[in-house]
Amino acid sequence: MAKQKRTAINPRRDEDYPGWYQEVVKAADMAENSDVRGCMVIKPWGYAIWENIQKNLDIMFKDTGHVNAYFPLFIPKSFFEKEAEHVEGFAKECAVVTHTRLEDDGKGGLKPAGKLTEELIVRPTSETIIGASFSKWINSYRDLPLLINQWANVVRWEMRTRLFLRTTEFLWQEGHTAHETKKDALEETFKMLNVYAEFAEKFLAMPVIMGEKTESERFPGALSTFSIEAMMQDKKALQSGTSHFLGLNFAKASNIKFQNKDGKEEFAWTTSWGVSTRLIGALIMAHSDDDGLVLPPKIAPSHIVMVPIYRTEEERAKVMTFIDEFISKLKKLRYNEEKIRYQIDDRDMRGGEKLWDWIKKGVPIRLEIGPRDIENNSVFMGRRDKDAKDKTGMKADDFVNSLTKILDEIQQNIFDKALKFRNENTINIDDKDDFYKFFTPNDKSNPEIHGGFAMGHWCGNSECEEKIKDDLKVTIRCIPINEKEETGKCISCGKESKRRVVFAKAY
Ligand SMILES: [Zn+2]
């Protein structure tokens, strides 16, 4: 066997994928577990990624006519009880506030006092509390459509948590809209699904499949749920965003009515849609390698890190003057209509060590600048989409002139790599034995990375779906909306099927 290359992250992906994930998050200094069980602390590097996600998505929401608002963190229990399926779906994950204050317990501690007459639920999602406002705001067809988005935190009590992927409290956005007709609401549901897909592909460099969820995976209370699904490097799927068509269910529960053009009262058609900090987990698992995080330039907190190289104070002064001039040129540039984000790493430590820190943090471009480079008016560049040792010297002006092109190239390379990986691991399967083999690891006690996206036929019966889930832990990720109809036989029962669906193991 060939000698394994040394890697900055241990374990490697092929050795222990979940262990590798944790180490990437830690080495990039993105987040950590907190003293509150199941809740994470998002550190500045991780939060800056979220800010870039937020900023760019917010522009896309506003470009499609939405406005932001903010609603209470607490939802009265009675609001929640209005939509039966909704309650059932979320009841087990709710954090409940029962008291309003603390008092001396007589033993040197505190005890809750001031019992609330009605308990409050810490929002796991806001359909019911936003619905209460909508019912007041909407009176006439002239008030429609109402297109609102909220950036907020939500709480869903989780027993088994993983940084960014599944935490008790997480950050997200939730869009809530109300419309005159079913057609308008359905159009909105698809419009936002497309916004998510476009964002995932253009900004996160993550190819996604758009599709409808089966009934068993539907949002509690929705008539239909659509999602974007991405493939991670362990060949599992990660649901990266959802858009729900809620029909009249929540309008009836919250009494959202309007007077139509004929003066008659009708219920409004509503939708909701959301993405969360889970996208950061997706980003990590879609692109990072055995040396750490790999960030697409469009959402990287820094596009460039500059590492000055010097031995003496005199050299340092020269290098820093050069960097100052260099930065004044960078400041004139725009990438993705934003300023170039850069930093200078002048920490008192070895250059090599610094460079590895930035590799692990996923910065797209590293520049080493030393006295010899200054003499030649050049910079020494390393790129995160290439091997760590693959570096090129460039004239400083050439670098400045081609910087946006280089960033575009990195962004594209990261996307192409992820797309190639997904294509290589997506196959049509028609034989049941082949299907079971595809999703069964060779080593069951310590499963190796296996499986992928299996495009298989499904008859539409939930029993077949359930059987596959029980046997293999494989679920129908979605019924793709861009796939053409094709007759075949259900992979489980052999009955007639009209189309292929995406089967995969998932997060
Ligand atoms: Zn079947």
Residues 278 and 185 in one domain: yes
Residues 156 and 190 in one domain: yes
Mean pLDDT of 339-355: 94
Mean pLDDT of 238-252: 97
Count of domains for the chain: 3
Alpha carbon distance 443, 466 (integer Å): 24
Mean pLDDT of 376-402: 95
Residue 131 has pLDDT above 90, yes or no: yes
Amino acid at 432: K
Domain of residue 176: give its range: 17-70+127-287
Give the model's pLDDT for residue 81: 85
Separation of 501 CA from ligand 1 center, angstroms?
12
Work out whether strand 209-212 and strand 475-480 pair parallel, antiparallel, or are unpaired.
antiparallel
17-31, 80-94, 178-192, range with the lowest pLDDT: 80-94
Give the model's pLDDT for residue 2: 55
Separation of 493 CA from ligand 1 center, angstroms?
4
Better-predicted residue by pLDDT, 146 or 6: 146
Residues 348 and 394 in one domain: yes
Residues 449 and 373 in one domain: no
> Order of strands, edge to edge, in the sheet holding 95-104?
74-76, 110-122, 95-104
H-assigned helices in 68-126: 77-80, 84-90
Alpha carbon distance 503, 465 (integer Å): 10
Backbone phi, then psi, for 303, in 5-degree steps?
Answer: -80, -35
Residues 156 and 219 in one domain: yes
User: 203 lies in a domain?
Assistant: yes
Separation of 502 CA from ligand 1 center, angstroms?
14
Residue 3 has pLDDT above 70, yes or no: no
Question: Rg of the Cα trace of the chain?
Answer: 26
CATH of the domain at 44: 3.30.930.10
Separation of 305 CA from ligand 1 center, angstroms?
54
Mean pLDDT of 247-264: 96
User: 160 lies in a domain?
Assistant: yes
pLDDT grade for 1, boundaries at 50, 70 and 90 = very low
The answer for residues whose C-beta is within 8 angstroms of residue 398's C-beta and 6 or more apart is none
Residue 132 has pLDDT above 50, yes or no: yes
> Order of strands, edge to edge, in the sheet holding 391-395?
342-344, 304-308, 365-369, 378-383, 391-395
Q: Give pLDDT tens digits for 27-79.
A: 999 999 999 999 999 999 999 999 999 999 999 999 999 999 999 999 999 99
Separation of 453 CA from ligand 1 center, angstroms?
18
Residue 84 has pLDDT above 80, yes or no: no
Separation of 461 CA from ligand 1 center, angstroms?
6
Q: Give pLDDT tens digits for 424-469.
A: 999 999 999 999 999 999 998 889 999 999 999 999 999 999 999 9
Separation of 497 CA from ligand 1 center, angstroms?
8
Separation of 460 CA from ligand 1 center, angstroms?
6
Q: Which of 287, 313, 329 is the last residue of a domain?
A: 287
Q: Which of 287, 321, 344 is the last residue of a domain?
A: 287
Alpha carbon distance 170, 202 (integer Å): 24
**pTM of the predicted structure, to 2 decimals:** 0.96
Check if the beta carbon of residue 454 is closer than 8 Å to that of residue 478: no
Q: Which of 408, 439, 468 is the last residue of a domain?
A: 408
% of residues, the chain, pLDDT over 70: 99
Query: Which is nearest to 41 in space by CA: 145, 151, 168, 128?
Result: 168
